[in-house]
Amino acid sequence: MRKLYILGTFLFISSIILGQSGKISGKIVNAGSGQGLVGATLTLIETSKTISADQNGDFTFSKLTAGTYSIKCSYTNHIEKVIDQIVVINDESTLISISLVEKESDAVVVSAKISARKETVSALLTAQKNMANVSDFVSAEQIRKTPDRSTSDVIKRVSGASIQDDRFAIIRGLNDRYNAAFINGAPLPSTESDRKAFAFDIFPSAILDNLVIYKTATPDKSGEFAGGLIDITTKSIPSKNFTSISFSGSYNTIITGKERFFSDNKGNKDWIGLDDGTRSLPNGFPTSLEVRNVLTPAQKADLTKHFANYKWGVQKGTAKPNYNFQLSKGFNFQRKDKEFLGALFSLNYNRNFTLSAGQRNSFDQYDFRASYYAPLQRGKFMDSIYNDEVVVAALASFSVKVNNRNTFYWKNNLSINTDNKLIKRIGAPDFADDPDFFFKDVVRWFTSNQIYTSQLGGEHTAGPVKTKLSWIAGYSKVDRKIPNLSRTTYTGRLPDLDNLGAFFINNPNQTVGSGTMFFSNSEEDIKSLKADITQPYTFMQNSQNFIKIGSGYQRRERDFTSRTLGFAPYNFGSVSFDNSLTFLPEDQILLPEHFGIMKNGKGGFLIQDGTLPNSDYSASSSILHAYIMSDQRFFKKFRLIYGVRMEQFNQKLIAFKNLIDTINLNTKVTDFLPSVNFVYSVNSKINLRLSYASTINRPEFRELAPFLFYDYVSGYNVSGQSTLVRAKIRNYDFRVEFFPGRSQLFSISGFYKEFTDPLEFVTLPNTTSQAVYVNSTSGKVYGVEAEFRTLLSTLFGIKKENAFLSKFTWSANGAFMKSSVKLEGLFGLPLSQLVTDRALQGQSPYIINTSLGYNDEKTGISSTLSVNRVGDRVAIGGTYNVPDIYEKARTVVDFQLAKSFMKNALELKVNAKDILAQHLNFYFDFDRSKSYSDKDRYFSYYKAPQIVSISATLKF
């Protein structure tokens, strides 16, 4: 630590000594289209230095002494503009954005003159106004002003967006499977082995440059989404050399400083979220068939020595405060006073200790034909879920600007997200007829997600007509490992809860329940390549028209393996099992001296294999796409973006269904996906948008595989179905946008979506706690969204820019939706035995976000109060005799206060997250009212913590 302090001090002093000049950097765009003006001329009036904008419209004036400057901007057939009051500070980069308006005739026009601040706000407004489709944009500056630590936190601020389970995106009320995730333009794989979803909490918010959620389709974007396409752009090349160090500590009101429990098993790499082999199945361990059919009881007993060092005990300790550390370093190298090479490195480390304490219940089967049925409780469990979460994220980006027409970049991200859970559960099981009979479970559940993404790309401009070529080659790899999910169970009777009697032993030929160990490994690779060509052309005297064509290929491959082992009693021949072992505590019962034939001549434990034939699968898919798109402007106020995208899809999956039958899927299908986006500019501040698009949603590998997995937290067995087909969606959108200026925005949208064969997650009829993926017959979603962002000074009619109320920004957005689904023929049941009036699984009826922000640049004080609320939504769809399970609405309130010092070199923040700390509740909707009533019963409910954190960031 002392060495780090000396290094930081040296770098800080060096930056002060060497910082003798500043920069002006920015982007120049066409005011009508938002497109960068390639080759635009910019002259620094004070020095008469003239440069040209590059292929994206970017420019930089370097090596400027501190002072105030003016820039004259010009471009063919555009009105010349002079930007003044540009303040340059030594060792700083002043960023400005400029927009130029096209001339209406050849008449001479006097140069417009505007301040740098006003012009930058105007240009940013131009970028928002000229998006080709209905979308929402969050910048790094907006992220900085919130308490958000992860990308999932950022997403829930967006209109019509929310987050489920603290990591999965819900857009326009549609669950995670209907959203697509991209990073720097390249596709991201699912991070979950048991659902089609991406865990956005993997990426810390600190590495984001911006985040865009596209809600309508254009041919140049993937056609596989219905809710939203989420495109994460990580930080790119900095405008100057810098070093940033940040540290924060936080207090969790439920667990910090209080007693926590954790597994005895610890590895040397736990602190970075990796298992070092302490928990893993040993190499060379016999196969499932060998253990079940070949090995003798004595040989199975001998296998137990492989687990002699595995510890089944539980330790007590005190939960430490949560903490986060971030280190970023940026480099900017110039050649001949021009941008040439840039590099950015970032490391983020986050560790959180949490406790979810609550209850989970189950009830007997239910008849949907009855208007209301009084449920009889079958199971009741009290849960304590302790988790040690580790997030490690590293970023490395490089960019080379060969000249104004050619740029190459290489972006890399590595993230490790690990949950190390210890679950303590006590209660009556579903099948227990004796009300005084209780189970006491302890589960150790270590899950590690490792994701690496890399994108190599380039942007080039060629020819006198400025044809633009962009290309990107992407690679992603996801490793999801459960090195050992182990479980011990003791049984007893009331009222002796603290000393529940006997270890629950397995049948000698089976592995169910106590002493079991589950191992799984899911490895997935995605390789992708795409290229796009954009050609500008003149149409009806407007040069801001573009035709865009492109093609690409994506290849995914996944291998999933799993294994279930357990300790069964050695009870063969003349050797009988020593039942006295079952009364030993869990840290003593499964010791080496109790394996095989013990010294007293009685039987102890041996290894038994409970792996099912369908526990493994391998799968692959490929997508070849091509598209053509035209972006046309005519009659000055009209814009039409239209085209068609072709996606040729091939999906394969190989798995055992049982010991005899296999599944060998090979699905091939070609889809043509047309889309049209129409924009009418009523005036310079108001847009009307209309959109239609055809999109699809394909089943994920896991949803097709017959693999059966028991989710211990929810208590459900989850399996896939190989008969699933893709869902088809028709999307209709309408939006009115009003941009009054000064970064203010008002918009209202309406949308309607029709689904054919929507994919859902529902309970399986006539079973206990089992859920599957299905195609419902059809569905629809419709709703409205409204959003505004305004200064309080505007609401009170105050036009003075530096007025006190102009420092406050009030923003809010809300989405109100309704959906329905048809289930004819599901599971072969008649319609009379199915729920006929429910929302799509995962769909919320409303989402509300609002925030009030304060920012004073002179004092360096800023503050934000944010509120988020999501309505009741179907978590698991019901079927014949199981009601829908809903997630109950809750309100989340966050607060942040920040203060900058030393000319913004040092920033201190205080954050309070989830101030209301409302319970996380899930309930059975027995009366089918779609909201909680006294006739319903809780499926589960858990306490939510309040989290208070303090952070400091030093930049030099």
* Residue 142 predicted with pLDDT over 90: no
Q: 500 versus 683: which is more confidently predicted?
A: 683
What pLDDT is recorded for position 177? 80
Q: State both tokens at 686.
A: 């108001």
Between CA 196 and CA 175 the distance in angstroms is: 10
Between CA 379 and CA 427 the distance in angstroms is: 7
What pLDDT is recorded for position 370? 53
Torsion sign over Cα 804, 807, 808, 814: positive
Q: 691 versus 657: which is more confidently predicted?
A: 691
* Residue 464 predicted with pLDDT over 90: no
Residues 6 or more apart whose Cβ sits within 8 Å of residue 617: 560, 653, 654, 655, 701, 705, 706, 707
Q: DSSP readout, 897-912?
A: EEEEETTTTEEEEEEE
Between CA 799 and CA 808 the distance in angstroms is: 14
Asked which of 73-77, 117-121, 411-415, 685-689 is least confident by mean pLDDT, the reply is 117-121
Between CA 171 and CA 163 the distance in angstroms is: 9
Q: What is the pLDDT of residues 281-295, one digit of tens each?
A: 888 899 988 988 899
Between CA 582 and CA 504 the distance in angstroms is: 7
Count CB atoms within 10 A of the CB of residue 540. Answer: 11
What pLDDT is recorded for position 47? 86
Q: What is the pLDDT of residues 49-60, one digit of tens each?
A: 888 888 778 888
Asked which of 203-212, 770-779, 812-821 is least confident by mean pLDDT, the reply is 203-212
* Residue 15 predicted with pLDDT over 50: no
Between CA 26 and CA 725 the distance in angstroms is: 48
pLDDT band at 830 (very low <50, low <70, confident <90, very high): low
* Residue 125 predicted with pLDDT over 80: no
What pLDDT is recorded for position 374? 57
pLDDT band at 10 (very low <50, low <70, confident <90, very high): very low
| Spatial CA neighbour of 346 closest among 466, 443, 451, 205 | 205
Between CA 432 and CA 451 the distance in angstroms is: 43
pLDDT band at 680 (very low <50, low <70, confident <90, very high): very high
What pLDDT is recorded for position 688? 93
Q: What is the pLDDT of residues 422-442, one digit of tens each?
A: 999 888 766 556 667 778 889
Residues 6 or more apart whose Cβ sits within 8 Å of residue 351: 271, 322, 323, 324, 388, 389, 390, 391
Average pLDDT rounded to a whole number, residues 445-466: 88
| DSSP reduced 3-state for 953 | strand
Residues 6 or more apart whose Cβ sits within 8 Å of residue 418: 273, 274, 389, 390, 391, 446, 447, 448, 449
Ramachandran assignment for 316, one of left (phi > 0), alpha (psi -120 to 50 degrees), beta (any other): beta
* Residue 265 predicted with pLDDT over 90: no
What pLDDT is recorded for position 421? 93
Burial zone of 742 (CB within 10 Å; 0-12 exposed, 13-18 middle, 19+ buried): middle
Which phi and psi angles does 403 have, rounded to 5°? -160, -170
Alpha carbons within 13 angstroms on the beta-carbon side of residue 930 total 17
Q: What is the pLDDT of residues 148-166, one digit of tens each?
A: 666 777 776 677 777 776 6
Average pLDDT rounded to a whole number, residues 591-605: 91
Alpha carbons within 13 angstroms on the beta-carbon side of residue 416 total 19
Q: From residue 333, give the alpha-carbon distance in Å to each of 19, 238, 239, 400.
A: 14, 10, 10, 10
What pLDDT is recorded for position 433? 62
Average pLDDT rounded to a whole number, residues 494-500: 57
* Residue 119 predicted with pLDDT over 60: no
Q: How much is the mean pLDDT over the chain? A: 82
pTM, two decimals, is 0.82
What pLDDT is recorded for position 837? 66
Our CA dihedral for 704, 705, 706, 712, rounded to 10 degrees, sits at -100
Between CA 947 and CA 322 the distance in angstroms is: 9
Average pLDDT rounded to a whole number, residues 359-388: 71
Average pLDDT rounded to a whole number, residues 337-351: 85
What pLDDT is recorded for position 694? 95
Q: From residue 594, give the alpha-carbon distance in Å to each of 204, 412, 711.
A: 47, 50, 30
Task: Tell me what percent of the residues of the chain surpass a pLDDT of 90.
Answer: 23
Which phi and psi angles does 714 have, rounded to 5°? -85, -20
* Residue 833 predicted with pLDDT over 60: no
pLDDT band at 128 (very low <50, low <70, confident <90, very high): low
673 within 8 A of 694, measured Cβ to Cβ: yes
Task: Tell me what percent of the residues of the chain surpass a pLDDT of 70.
Answer: 84
Average pLDDT rounded to a whole number, residues 507-534: 81
Average pLDDT rounded to a whole number, residues 943-952: 91
